[in-house]
């Protein structure tokens, strides 16, 4: 009876954290479709409006390195409740914003609260479940992390078309409040408080380094790589991030423990994830551009084309987790990334006449492959670590994911732009639509190459037996 009650409590905790993670990832993409309406209401440019999404991801990315300290320093309940309260306060501010700066402030506050939620969720799951059951639990995390941003454009398209952009925040707000109330009464603490010292130098260097790096890649979407806004910020970001890594490797109180990269499985899984996310995020931005700028469909229709893929991800994520518990990540991720590569490659044949059914089907193939690959890779990486460095591993993995998404988007949007311009120059009589199609085709070729390379990395995985998995220092080094 006692064990049954404990299992029910664990399931309740898992649902609470899953819902919070879902809300935080959903808000990454809710603004994209609503942007034209917001631009009209506040009389701002598209470049200014992009900060509603880019700024959210930037602040979340900067927050992630600090989460290892926060998870080790504060109790689960306190950290989660504080994060959700901050997130919900930002939602409230955005919903009643009187001007654009007020709306941006609300989004930034949302991001501050959202930053720690996903890494905290991962660490709690690793503490809650034994190794042989973690895959299934992580599969549900995959549902939240991958389904939420995929469903965002469809949901916001319906809301904006039926009501107003403010309704997006009015819907999220009560959901956040409900989650806080339930968490207050049902959430319990997991793990051990270690009370690490706060590394001031580390937080300053990581904020400047990652902030400028992510900002530079975000700017690359609509500015030349030769400008200071792109190249300058990226160079500054790389230099300061290198200083951060050096400082963290030579201190007794690191903000992020880089010794996790001495673990072979963690390193290979993280590098593979980096390459996957580059191709995935870059590829994700191309299809809405094609649908709306080439085929001229509405944002709502664009979202509906993406919906089947999102539903496939939601359906497959828990199943993939259970499969991981049986067969590990190596071949599961390899097969998934081959499917992702195939689906991406099929987009290189699109034209202005391509049917919506074809586009939706190929996106579904991509989503199926994605569901087979992403969570097994993350579970494989974190399973290789001991619980005493789990917070650092989770923070590191999520930081890499954030950087990879920014780089992939910047690179593939640049490839698309240059492909478009090159085609137009070589074919002066060609229409802008034809040039754009060519640019998108070239970008999808790039995304295919990236995801295929990631599939090759999967073959380097060699999962040791469970009784061999001990502390990070005892595992095989790179």
pLDDT digits (tens, 9 = 90+) for 24-44: 888 877 887 787 788 888 988
Mind listing the pLDDT tens digit for each residue in 296-323? 887 778 878 888 888 898 888 889 988 9
User: CB of 201 within 8 A of CB of 211?
Assistant: no
Average model confidence (pLDDT) across the chain: 85
* Most confident segment among 47-51, 82-86, 440-444: 82-86
pLDDT at 128: 84
User: CB of 464 within 8 A of CB of 329?
Assistant: no
Mind listing the pLDDT tens digit for each residue in 168-218? 999 999 999 999 999 999 888 876 677 778 888 988 998 899 889 888 887
Identify the DSSP state of 254.
-
The pLDDT confidence band at residue 3, using thresholds 50, 70 and 90, is low
Interhelix angle 134-142/2-42, nearest 10 degrees: 20
- Please give the biggest Cα pair distance in the chain: 77
User: CB of 399 within 8 A of CB of 65?
Assistant: yes
pTM score: 0.82
User: CB of 455 within 8 A of CB of 334?
Assistant: yes
Mind listing the pLDDT tens digit for each residue in 213-262? 888 887 876 678 889 988 999 999 999 999 999 999 888 888 888 889 99
Identify the DSSP state of 294.
I
pLDDT of 445 higher than 90: yes
User: CB of 288 within 8 A of CB of 443?
Assistant: no
Answer yes or no: CATH 1.20.1250.20 is held by domain 257-478: yes
Which of 173, 179, 168, 170 is CA-nearest to residue 121? 179
pLDDT of 326 higher than 70: yes
pLDDT at 98: 92
Top-confidence residue, 27 or 333: 333
pLDDT at 221: 66
pLDDT at 344: 93
Distance, in Å, from the CA atom of 461 to the CA atom of 427, rounded to the nearest integer, reads 46
How many CB atoms are located within 10 Å of the residue 267 CB?
A: 17
Mind listing the pLDDT tens digit for each residue in 453-476? 999 999 998 755 444 444 433 333
Instruction: For residue 389, give Cα distances in angstroms to 129, 375, 383.
Output: 16, 19, 11
Continuous H helices in 328-431: 330-346, 356-383, 390-426
Provide, rounded to the nearest whole percent, the portion of the chain with pLDDT above 70: 93
pLDDT at 47: 65
pLDDT at 331: 92
pLDDT of 429 higher than 90: no
Mind listing the pLDDT tens digit for each residue in 284-300? 778 888 887 888 887 77
Q: Which of 217-231, 267-281, 381-395, 437-451 has the lowest mean pLDDT?
A: 217-231
| Torsion sign across C-alpha atoms 91, 25, 295, 406 | positive
pLDDT at 1: 47
Distance, in Å, from the CA atom of 22 to the CA atom of 35, rounded to the nearest integer, reads 21
Topology (CATH) of 1-196: Growth Hormone; Chain: A; (1.20.1250)
Q: What torsion, rounded to 10 degrees, do the Cα atoms 106, 110, 111, 114 define? A: 180
User: CB of 381 within 8 A of CB of 401?
Assistant: no
* Most confident segment among 77-91, 208-222, 390-404: 77-91
Q: Which of 52-56, 364-368, 422-426 has the lowest mean pLDDT?
A: 52-56
Mind listing the pLDDT tens digit for each residue in 102-160? 999 999 999 999 989 988 888 888 888 888 788 888 888 877 877 787 788 778 878 88
pLDDT at 5: 55
Which of 259, 258, 261, 251 is CA-nearest to residue 201? 251
The pLDDT confidence band at residue 6, using thresholds 50, 70 and 90, is low
The pLDDT confidence band at residue 346, using thresholds 50, 70 and 90, is very high
Q: What torsion, rounded to 10 degrees, do the Cα atoms 373, 376, 378, 381 define? A: -120
């Amino acid at each position: 009876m006692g064990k049954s009650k404990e299992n029910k409590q664990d399931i309740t905790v898992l649902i609470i954290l899953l819902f919070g993670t879902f809300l935080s990832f959903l808000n990454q993409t809710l603004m994209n479709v609503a942007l034209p309406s917001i631009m009209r209401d506040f009389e701002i440019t598209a470049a200014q409006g992009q900060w509603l999404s880019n700024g959210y991801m930037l602040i979340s990315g900067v927050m992630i390195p600090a989460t290892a300290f926060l998870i080790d320093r504060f109790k689960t309940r306190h950290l989660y409740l504080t994060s959700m309260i901050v997130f919900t306060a930002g939602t409230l501010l955005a919903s009643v914003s009187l001007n654009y700066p007020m709306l941006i402030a609300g989004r930034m506050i949302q991001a501050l609260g959202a930053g720690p939620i996903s890494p905290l969720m991962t660490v709690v799951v690793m503490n809650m479940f034994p190794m042989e059951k973690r895959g299934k639990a992580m599969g549900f995390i995959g549902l939240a992390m991958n389904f939420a941003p995929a469903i965002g454009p469809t949901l916001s398209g319906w809301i904006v078309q039926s009501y107003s952009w403010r309704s997006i925040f009015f819907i999220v707000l009560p959901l956040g409040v409900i989650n806080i109330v339930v968490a207050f009464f049902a959430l319990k603490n997991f793990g051990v408080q270690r009370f690490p010292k706060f590394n001031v130098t580390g937080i300053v260097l990581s904020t400047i380094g990652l902030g400028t790096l992510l900002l530079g890649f975000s700017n690359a979407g609509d500015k030349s790589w030769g400008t200071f806004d792109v190249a300058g910020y990226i160079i500054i970001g790389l230099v300061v991030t290198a200083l951060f890594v050096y400082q963290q490797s030579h201190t007794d109180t690191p903000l992020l423990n880089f010794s996790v990269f001495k673990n072979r499985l963690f390193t290979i899984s993280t590098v593979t994830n980096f390459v996957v996310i580059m191709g995935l995020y870059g590829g994700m931005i191309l299809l809405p551009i094609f649908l709306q700028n080439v085929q001229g469909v509405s944002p709502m229709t664009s979202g509906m084309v993406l919906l089947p893929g999102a539903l496939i991800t939601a359906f497959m994520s828990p199943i993939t987790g259970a499969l991981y518990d049986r067969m590990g990540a190596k071949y599961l991720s390899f097969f998934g990334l081959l499917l992702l590569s195939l689906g991406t490659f099929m987009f290189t044949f699109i034209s202005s006449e391509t049917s919506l059914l074809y586009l939706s089907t190929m996106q579904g193939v991509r989503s199926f492959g994605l569901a087979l690959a992403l969570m097994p890779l993350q579970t494989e990486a974190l399973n290789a670590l001991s619980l005493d460095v789990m917070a650092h591993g989770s923070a590191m993995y999520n930081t890499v994911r954030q950087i990879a998404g920014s780089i992939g988007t910047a690179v593939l949007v640049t490839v698309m732009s240059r492909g478009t311009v090159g085609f137009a120059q070589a074919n002066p009589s060609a229409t802008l639509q034809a040039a754009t199609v060519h640019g998108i085709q070239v970008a999808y070729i790039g995304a295919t190459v990236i995801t295929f390379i990631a599939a090759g990395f999967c073959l380097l995985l060699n999962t040791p037996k469970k009784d061999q998995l001990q502390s990070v220092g005892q595992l095989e080094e790179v």
